[in-house]
Amino acid sequence: MASLAVNIDHTATLRQARGNVSYPDPVAAAVLAELAGASGIVVHLREDRRHIQDRDVRLLRETVQTKLILEMASTKAMVATALDIKPEIVTLVPEKREELTTEGGLDLIKQETAIAKTVNTLQERGIQVSVFIDPEPDQIEIAEKIDAKMVEIHTGTFCDAKTFKEKDQAFFKIVEAVKLAHSLKLGVNAGHGLCTNTIKAFKGLSEIDEFSIGHSIISRAVFVGMDRAVKEMLELIKEL
């Protein structure tokens, strides 16, 4: 069974909507997600600090019992932060200030040298690196070439597709990408936009090691609580 890493960024989005309050605390969300069976806690410390704050990452480093996965841009400042915090895993993502959320994978073709340097710096210090990429064979081959330990396949295009045809095409690319990454002995994660409906498409795709899911779980948790929201997703993953 694939494991589930829960992204708790949007707990912080709710808190930051009021600015001057300390709730809801992502640290509490992480505890509840882990108690419900999450295998990892994911946070994206964005350059503009729109949701997760430095304080959250520091506290999570002390409190997370499973593994802390830090999503970040490949910048000098973020590499310094990662080396200081020492999460178990860093997922490198592209980052644009104006975007609502991460809009696509890294372009390893254009950025091979710079990303390779970041991967090497972090992995030399014992932090495993995953690269968030679109389901394209070229991107996966470069991920292997630069010695990243894992890839996270971007599932957003599939989740956002409006027609059956677009969905089928996007999912076919995911299947091919997952199988290629697995055959190259890379760890294979998948995420972005997944919810209780879209996760069902992954039935039988056993090469995926871990799903990274945030927005849909936190949204559901607002109504049914974190424990139930995480357990519902885990049940669906168990059926894949």
Active site residue 154: no
Q: Is 46 in the site for ligand PXP (CB under 6 A)?
A: no
Q: What is the rounded CA–CA span in Å between residue 3 and residue 207?
A: 12
Minimum Å distance from CB 18 to ligand PXP?
A: 21
Q: 10, 44, 51, 154: which is the annotated catalytic residue?
A: 44
How far is CA 81 from each of CA 84, 94, 199, 200, rounded to the nearest angstrom?
5, 17, 32, 36
Contact (CB, 8 A) for 69 and 87: yes
CA nearest to 117, candidates 148, 163, 140: 148
Q: 10, 95, 192, 210: which is the annotated catalytic residue?
A: 192
156: left (phi over 0), alpha (psi -120 to 50) or beta: alpha
Minimum Å distance from CB 180 to ligand PXP?
A: 19
Q: Is 192 in the site for ligand PXP (CB under 6 A)?
A: yes
**Which of 11, 45, 115, 132 is the binder for ligand PXP (CB under 6 A)?**
132
Minimum Å distance from CB 95 to ligand PXP?
A: 9
Q: What is the rounded CA–CA span in Å between residue 43 and residue 7?
A: 6
Contact (CB, 8 A) for 131 and 115: yes
Cβ-count burial 152-178 (b if 16+ within 10 Å, e if not)? bbbbbbbbebeeeeebeebbebbbebb
Nearer to ligand PXP, 31 or 195 (CB): 195
Site for ligand PXP in 71-110 (CB under 6 A): 71, 91, 93, 101-102
Active site residue 71: yes
Minimum Å distance from CB 194 to ligand PXP?
A: 6
Q: 10, 34, 51, 71: which is the annotated catalytic residue?
A: 71
What is the dihedral sign for C-alpha 134, 138, 143, 146? negative
Q: What is the rounded CA–CA span in Å between residue 114 and residue 220?
A: 38
Minimum Å distance from CB 155 to ligand PXP?
A: 8
Contact pattern for ligand PXP over residues 201 through 240, marking x by CB under 6 A: -----------xxxxx------------------------
Q: Is 134 in the site for ligand PXP (CB under 6 A)?
A: no
Active site residue 166: no
**Which of 12, 150, 194, 234 is the binder for ligand PXP (CB under 6 A)?**
194
Residues that bind ligand PXP (CB under 6 A): 7, 9, 44, 71, 91, 93, 101-102, 132, 152, 191-194, 212-216
Residues annotated as catalytic (active site), given as ranges = 44, 71, 192
